[in-house]
Amino acid sequence: MIYNELLDTATGRQVCDLNIINCTLVDVFQGCLVPHATVSVAHGNIVGINDGLLAHQSIDAQGAFLAPSFMDSHVHIESSLLCPAEYARIVVPRGTTAVAADPHEIVNVLGYEGMNYMLRSSEGLPLDVYLTVPSCVPATNFDSSGASLYASDMHQFAREDRVLGLGEVMNFPGLIASEATLMDKLAIFREARKAIDGHAPGLRGKDLSAYIAAGIRSDHESTSAEEALEKLSKGMYVMIREGSAARDLAAIASAVTPGNARRFLLCSDDRHPTDLVREGHIDRMLRLLVASGVDPIDAIRMATLNAAERYGLRTFGAVAPGYQADLVLLRDLKDFEVLQVFKAGTLVAQKGEMTININERPYPLRDSVNIKWLEARDFHIRAEGPLIRVIEAKEGSLVTENRIMGTPMGSDGLCYSDTERDILRIYVIERHRGTGNMGRGFIHGLGLKRGAIASTISHDSHNMIVVGVDDQSIFKAARHLNKIGGGLVITLGEKIIADLPLPIGGLMSNLGAAEVNQRLDAFEAFFRSEGMTNTQPLMTLSFMALPVIPHLKLTDRGLVDVDRFSMTGLFLDKEA
């Protein structure tokens, strides 16, 4: 019956709910601006543009720019450390009213239960949380996840209206080898005519062509203009990523031209709440793109219509009759200051603050931290050669180097951290089933001089990850995370310097965004006071166990040479 009501208001037989008058309309179809426009809204939809319709309420935009609200084309909400309702409270005032969320993190921890949590806890928000079904649970055979999600588990989710398709296919070696279990997952979503998202860092040439031929049409892992252009030329949508650890926009912006801009999307992938509050979300990416020379309307298309078309959202992404009245009023098209945000024609945010209450939908979850009893000697690393493989972390990138360095060995034959050379011990501890698995290694590039940092956020299996200088701090950090049911912690000996409990899957807080950021500020204060060379150590650390991003990573089963896609030894003369 809604169409009859829309017809009545569009033809003037009934009065509209709202007119937004005197706005400068951003026309994403023609690529132009329409000054002195009036946009008419009824029943949550746009019903007219400059059609002389009457409305019960009018809002004078005073010449401000009215655009479709923004969509993040690929995000892991879990990386914000916030539950979906709290996440919405931060990003909606920034102009984002839709996200394509891949709950890969919580599903790797809690499986089917985690997928249901994200679906049900995100209902009824002023943010449309669309989901993709994680394709790689577990992500690889190199580590231990908390759950498995098979093709047989996916049929139910593929039928959900809010499920857009299959999440990022990270196992590209398995895909190219036609691995049966993976091919079955792709088949479900091809048959459902839903999107299949990619994850193909550095994939080029015939391997990239084969990857795309399997039905994968988008990717967010390009780190250079050349890589992005090859993917574009072979038919992919390229998602430009600007997260907290991976900031690829500056490297890719030069690839955007008026001729190819319609094939670019914007995504944050993984972004901490402090960055969302201080720097922004998609609005920040728009500022950066325009500053780099991209036409403002092309930039807006990347955040709106392009994403909608990629995912088949036929009524999202434009200001036009029949489209959802999901709108953002902008002061200008340079700084992209958001004045007002409308969701389905209702004003939901103004001047950086929500104007409506958000009702959370609690969804009970089981405890997700189950660690075998640890003792200090479990963290010993006995020297087995003069040279070791060291993970070299680089700020602003998920790619690590496989560096060879001299073994930091003590007189007792054990290996220790060497702060002079910035070589720190790093451990990954299985935390789902209490198996006792522990990967031991070394990392360079963090700059920690004392104490330890630990987290239950370590992509993609989210085992416990600990990096530290001394035995006491390392042991205390691991024990404390077990005690609080997962989260983040800094220790100095027996002292807890800062912590943030994350009881939702060991990934997300049940606290408000303000308190989460306050606790994170304590972490940042410590990092600054210590003069750490890496300014994003928490986010950087969370990717050191991700064995699908080159070149060297550590899981609970040991070191992984990602280039060879095989386990490798810590000591050069000791292969795994």
Share of the chain above pLDDT 70, in %: 99
CA separation, residue 294 to residues 33, 288, 299 (Å): 16, 9, 6
The residues, ordered by sequence, that sit 6+ positions from 97 with a Cβ below 8 Å of its Cβ are 69, 70, 71, 126, 127, 128, 326, 328, 341, 343, 348
Do 407 and 503 lie in one domain? The reply is yes
Tokens of 446: 């963090």
Q: What is the pLDDT of residue 22?
A: 98
The answer as to whether 5 is a domain residue is: no
The answer as to whether 45 is a domain residue is: no
CA distance 447 to 441: 16
Per-residue pLDDT for 302 more than 60? yes
Q: What is the pLDDT of residues 239-280, one digit of tens each?
A: 999 998 789 999 999 999 999 999 999 999 989 899 999 999
Do 306 and 168 lie in one domain? The reply is yes
For the residues 530-546, what does the mean pLDDT come to?
89
Task: Find the domain containing 142 and state its range.
Answer: 70-314
Confidence of residue 523 (pLDDT cuts 50, 70, 90): very high
In terms of Cα–Cα distance, which of 31, 185, 164 is closest to 100? 164
Q: Out of 314, 338, 358, pick the residue that ends a domain.
A: 314
Q: Out of 314, 329, 345, pick the residue that ends a domain.
A: 314
Is there a contact between 72 and 266 (Cβ–Cβ < 8 Å)? yes
Q: What is the pLDDT of residue 176?
A: 87
Is there a contact between 239 and 47 (Cβ–Cβ < 8 Å)? no
Do 185 and 87 lie in one domain? The reply is yes
Do 394 and 496 lie in one domain? The reply is yes
Do 404 and 283 lie in one domain? The reply is no
The answer as to whether 369 is a domain residue is: no
Q: What is the pLDDT of residue 576?
A: 44
In terms of Cα–Cα distance, which of 498, 500, 501 is closest to 525? 498
SS (H, E, C) 102-167: CCHHHHHHHCHHHHHHHHHHCCCCCCEEEEEECCCCCCCCCCCCCCCCCHHHHHHHHCCCCEEEEE
Residue 504's φ and ψ, nearest 5 degrees, are -85, 90
| Cα within 13 Å of Cα(308), Cβ side | 23
Do 426 and 521 lie in one domain? The reply is yes
Confidence of residue 141 (pLDDT cuts 50, 70, 90): confident
CA distance 406 to 421: 10
Q: Which residues, listed in sequence order, are joined to residue 442 by a DSSP beta bridge?
A: 425
Do 558 and 415 lie in one domain? The reply is yes
Q: What is the pLDDT of residue 214?
A: 95
Structure-token match 């309420």, residue found: 57
Q: What is the pLDDT of residue 574?
A: 58
Q: What is the pLDDT of residue 457?
A: 95
Is there a contact between 74 and 134 (Cβ–Cβ < 8 Å)? no
CA distance 22 to 130: 33
In terms of Cα–Cα distance, which of 350, 423, 342, 353 is closest to 383? 423
CA distance 477 to 466: 7
Per-residue pLDDT for 404 more than 60? yes
Q: What is the pLDDT of residues 366-394, one digit of tens each?
A: 889 999 888 888 999 999 999 999 999 98
Q: What is the pLDDT of residues 210-222, one digit of tens each?
A: 999 999 999 999 9
Q: Return the percent helix, strand and coil in the chain, to nearest 5.
A: 30, 30, 40
Task: Please provide the DSSP assignment of 168-223 as one string.
Answer: EE--HHHHHTT-HHHHHHHHHHHHTT-EEEE--TT--HHHHHHHHHTT--EES---
Element (H, E) at 2: helix 2-10
Q: What is the pLDDT of residue 354?
A: 97
Per-residue pLDDT for 68 more than 70? yes
CA distance 509 to 503: 6
Do 385 and 288 lie in one domain? The reply is no
Confidence of residue 171 (pLDDT cuts 50, 70, 90): confident
Instruction: Enter the pTM of the model.
Output: 0.90
Q: What is the pLDDT of residue 373?
A: 86
Q: What is the pLDDT of residue 117?
A: 95
Is there a contact between 111 and 149 (Cβ–Cβ < 8 Å)? yes
Do 310 and 384 lie in one domain? The reply is no
Q: Out of 262, 287, 314, pick the residue that ends a domain.
A: 314
The number of residues making up the chain comes to 576
Do 274 and 387 lie in one domain? The reply is no
- Average of per-residue pLDDT values in the chain: 94
Q: What is the pLDDT of residues 79-121, one digit of tens each?
A: 999 999 999 999 999 999 999 999 999 999 999 999 999 999 9
Do 105 and 203 lie in one domain? The reply is yes
The answer as to whether 108 is a domain residue is: yes
Q: What is the CATH number of the domain that holds 113?
A: 3.20.20.140
The answer as to whether 334 is a domain residue is: no
The answer as to whether 223 is a domain residue is: yes
3-state secondary structure of 30: coil
The count of domains in the chain is 2
Confidence of residue 479 (pLDDT cuts 50, 70, 90): very high
Q: What is the pLDDT of residue 399?
A: 87
Q: What is the pLDDT of residues 172-197, one digit of tens each?
A: 888 888 999 999 999 999 999 999 99
For the residues 491-501, what does the mean pLDDT come to?
98
The answer as to whether 540 is a domain residue is: yes
CA distance 430 to 439: 9
Per-residue pLDDT for 67 more than 90? yes
Do 125 and 198 lie in one domain? The reply is yes
In terms of Cα–Cα distance, which of 80, 160, 74, 72 is closest to 115? 160
In terms of Cα–Cα distance, which of 383, 419, 397 is closest to 569? 383
The answer as to whether 19 is a domain residue is: no
Is there a contact between 131 and 161 (Cβ–Cβ < 8 Å)? no
Q: Which residues, listed in sequence order, are joined to residue 574 by a DSSP beta bridge?
A: none
What's the farthest any 2 CA atoms get from each other in the chain? 89
